A and B are shown apart, each in its own frame.
Chain A
Amino acid sequence: MQANTSITKKPGSSVNDAFASHFAKSMFLTIAGLLILTFIGTRMFTHVDLNLYGYMVGTIVFIGGFFYRFIAWGERPPTKLFIKKGLKLLFRKSTPKTAVNHLAIYDFIRNRGVYRWVQHILIGWGCVLAFLVTFPLVFSWMYFTMEDNGYYTIVLFGMNIMNVKADGIIAWLSYNALNIAAIMVTAGVCMALYRRLKNMQARAEQKFMYDFLPLYLLLFISITGLLLTFQNVVLHGWMQPQMSLIHQFSVIVTLIYLPFGKLAHIPFRPLSVFARNYREHYSEQHMKECKVCGDQFVSVEQSNDVIQVLDVNEIDFNMNDGFNLAELCLPCRRKYRIAKFSGFATHQVKVKEANQNANG
């Protein structure tokens, strides 16, 4: 692949050649983008909230880790293929519906159980809400000023968005957005922990480091965050500076860990929209017929893509009988294996597979 590109393209002609690697380029563009947005958002760096300086550094380390992980992941042959074709099919009519379904209301999780769906909605949307509040605050894209007594002006990207009464409902919601998020996440995490400890199906597969640690981290963030509010309101700020450092520590550790553990599914999940589009689009184009029974079971495109991806991995399932195994429908492929074992051509017998569901 590398050799090919250097032959077809003149070296030194593309902007990409200014960077040592994909990683360097992505990092440069992102940091530059953040700087520009912050420059605008803070009205030329006049409104930087230095209290949140630690979060800013943490975010930049997180972005480094995220690109490292994401690029390594995106370079895998099947992932690369889905990203490429997914981007091409991004503007299908069904994309908004699929995206809302997969990324916002998680219909597929509801089908796994309403309990799991509720816990995921609470954790997921709690985290999203917290992200939406903290990131603009950390980079000072959003801040509050008080020009008239008793009225706050909300400033977003240097523009005065609205004047709100300091003791009004919108102001109250803004002050407490992170508390609401923390309560949502705490409730969701408790539900998740309860299920992991009590549900026998779940218990069989849980590992402390992979499944519990992220939950404990989220709980750590939420509880220390809520304690900050508690200390302000009830304890007149007693030990508040110390707790704020602990909270900062919890957030930064979780951010840096995010791309590498279970939480990595958050940035990677949009690929499921790509995959759905890919399947829908190419199924409409041309379906593959099973080489044995003639049933249409997958799009021609996907069958070919899988064969090609396996080829990159030096796996080749071309049979002497004149087909690739990826060209057989699943029941025929299983029967073909039985035929290989027994020497009798089971896949040629036109009988539907019997009782495969242990239903008696």
Chain B
Amino acid sequence: MKKRLYLELENCIGCRSCLAACTQCGGHEERNRNYVYDVNPLVNRQTMPLMCLHCVNPACARSCPAQAIQIHETGAVLSALVEKCIGCQNCTIACPYGIPKFDTEQNLMYKCDLCIDRSKDGIPPMCASVCPTNTLQWLTDEEIEAKQKQFNLDNGKWVTSMPYLEGETNVKVNLPGILQGVTKLF
């Protein structure tokens, strides 16, 4: 059963467990590849995670002169192949979400690979497996559809991937609660 990473952004409490878990994934060399942002840092404590959304047509890979960014058969856009990355940083400029990180010393780009050694076997990526508030979930397409139905209040406030992103993505993003006045029980 193919599962996807699914983000319910407003559940985030800013614990940064996903960042810590990311460092522990095999192949990540103890460095995290995702972000957690304060939405309005001087006013309240709302945070939101931001990770690679694994575009169906990834700008990073299209702009890579070395073919170092490969797309896995699961749809995950992989981190740069260490032997191919030439350190031009085109991908960091191309990515519409500013995700790829660059190590100047190692002359190497690294980015979220959806913990490919886990997710290729259906195991959730590290961030989703530790998230305490279900901000990051690992769901089948049917479950995501059910979520969409559950929150579809037909008031035009359903916030999901397409209009707020730059293209079709393999990770689905959703902001259902606050904007629709739904009370959630965690």
A interface list, Cβ under 8 A from B = 73, 76, 78-79, 81-82, 102, 108-109, 111-112, 200-205, 262, 264-265, 268-269, 271-272, 274-276, 278-279, 298, 302-303, 305-306, 309-310, 313, 315, 317, 325-326, 328, 330-335, 337-338, 340-344, 346, 349, 351, 353-358
- Check: B42 CB closer than 8 A to any chain A CB: yes
Contact call B22/A204, Cβ cutoff below 8 A: no
How near does chain A come to B174, taking the closest CB pair, in angstroms?
Answer: 10
Query: What are the residues of chain A within 8 A of B64 when measuring CB–CB?
Result: 78
- Check: B29 CB closer than 8 A to any chain A CB: yes
How near does chain A come to B162, taking the closest CB pair, in angstroms?
Answer: 12
Sample of 17 further A-B pairs with CB below 8 A, known A275-B65, A351-B41, A353-B37: A73-B67, A108-B105, A108-B106, A201-B28, A204-B26, A265-B83, A272-B87, A306-B63, A313-B57, A317-B166, A330-B98, A333-B95, A338-B48, A341-B175, A351-B42, A356-B32, A358-B32
Contact call A108/B42, Cβ cutoff below 8 A: no
Contact call B67/A358, Cβ cutoff below 8 A: no
Query: What are the residues of chain A within 8 A of B98 when measuring CB–CB?
Result: 328, 330-334, 337
Contact call A201/B90, Cβ cutoff below 8 A: no
CB-contacts of B27-78 with A (<8 A): 27-29, 32, 35-42, 46, 48, 50, 57, 59, 62-67
Contact call A338/B93, Cβ cutoff below 8 A: no
For B25, B50, B167, the residue with the greatest tally of chain A CB atoms inside 10 Å of its CB is B50
Can you list 24 A-B pairs, Cβ within 8 angstroms, ordered by A? Answer: A102-B107, A108-B106, A111-B106, A112-B82, A112-B108, A201-B27, A201-B29, A204-B25, A205-B117, A265-B83, A271-B66, A302-B89, A306-B90, A310-B62, A317-B96, A317-B166, A334-B35, A335-B37, A337-B98, A338-B37, A342-B9, A346-B38, A355-B16, A357-B19
CB-contacts of B127-171 with A (<8 A): 159, 164-167
How near does chain B come to A82, taking the closest CB pair, in angstroms?
Answer: 5
How near does chain B come to A142, taking the closest CB pair, in angstroms?
Answer: 31
For A73, A334, A341, the residue with the greatest tally of chain B CB atoms inside 10 Å of its CB is A341
- CA separation between A338 and B50, bound complex, in Å? 8
Query: What are the residues of chain B within 8 A of A310 when measuring CB–CB?
Result: 59, 62-63, 94
How near does chain A come to B108, taking the closest CB pair, in angstroms?
Answer: 7
- Check: B112 CB closer than 8 A to any chain A CB: no
Query: What are the residues of chain B within 8 A of A275 when measuring CB–CB?
Result: 65, 86-88
Going nearest first, the 3 A-B pairs with the smallest beta carbon separation are A204-B26, A333-B98, A358-B19
How near does chain A come to B135, taking the closest CB pair, in angstroms?
Answer: 12
Contact call A302/B90, Cβ cutoff below 8 A: yes
B interface list, Cβ under 8 A from A = 9, 16, 19-20, 22-23, 25-29, 32, 35-42, 46, 48, 50, 57, 59, 62-67, 82-84, 86-90, 92-99, 103, 105-108, 116-117, 159, 164-167, 173, 175, 179
Q: Known interface pairs A108-B105, A265-B84. Does A271 touch B23 (Cβ–Cβ under 8 Å)? A: no
Query: What are the residues of chain A within 8 A of B164 when measuring CB–CB?
Result: 340-341
Query: What are the residues of chain B within 8 A of A73 when measuring CB–CB?
Result: 67
Contact call B62/A341, Cβ cutoff below 8 A: no
- CA separation between A338 and B97, bound complex, in Å? 9
- CA separation between A262 and B67, bound complex, in Å? 12
- CA separation between A269 and B107, bound complex, in Å? 12
Contact call B23/A358, Cβ cutoff below 8 A: yes
Contact call B9/A341, Cβ cutoff below 8 A: yes
Chain A residue at minimum C-beta to C-beta distance from B32: A358
Chain B residue at minimum C-beta to C-beta distance from A338: B37
Chain B residue at minimum C-beta to C-beta distance from A268: B66
Q: Known interface pairs A112-B108, A357-B32. Does A313 touch B96 (Cβ–Cβ under 8 Å)? A: no
